[in-house]
Amino acid sequence: MPTYDLTCKDCGEHSEKFMMRLIREEDKVCSSCGSTNVSQGLGGGYLSGGTVTSEIESGCGGGGFS
Ligand SMILES: [Zn+2]
């Protein structure tokens, strides 16, 4: 059974959800504070320690010749 590992980014609450289906965005809700700012990882043992963090930095805004 897939185990989804949810960690709230707001309050740090960690919870696991057992589901027979794929997790959806609406499932990613903190059980403690109700925040949807929850990061999801796979528990169980599909991927161990596979935290995918994609931070796209779009710096250097606006082209401008000085
Ligand atoms: Zn929370």
- Identify the CATH number of the domain in which residue 7 sits: 2.20.28
Q: According to the model, what pLDDT value does residue 2 have?
A: 76
Number of domains in the chain: 1
Tens digit of each residue's pLDDT (9 = 90 or more) over 39-57: 988 655 444 444 545 444 5
Q: According to the model, what pLDDT value does residue 41 have?
A: 80
Average pLDDT, rounded, for the chain:
77
Ligand 1 centroid – CA 65 distance (Å): 45
Per the domain annotation, does 63 fall within a domain? Answer: no
Per the domain annotation, does 62 fall within a domain? Answer: no
Ligand 1 centroid – CA 6 distance (Å): 10
Q: According to the model, what pLDDT value does residue 3 have?
A: 85
Q: According to the model, what pLDDT value does residue 66 have?
A: 66
Which range marks the domain in which residue 11 is found? 3-42
Ligand 1 centroid – CA 62 distance (Å): 36
Are 40 and 34 spatial neighbours (Cβ–Cβ below 8 Å)?
Answer: no
Ligand 1 centroid – CA 14 distance (Å): 8
Instruction: Determine the Cα–Cα distance for residues 64 and 49; give it in Å rounded to an integer.
Output: 42
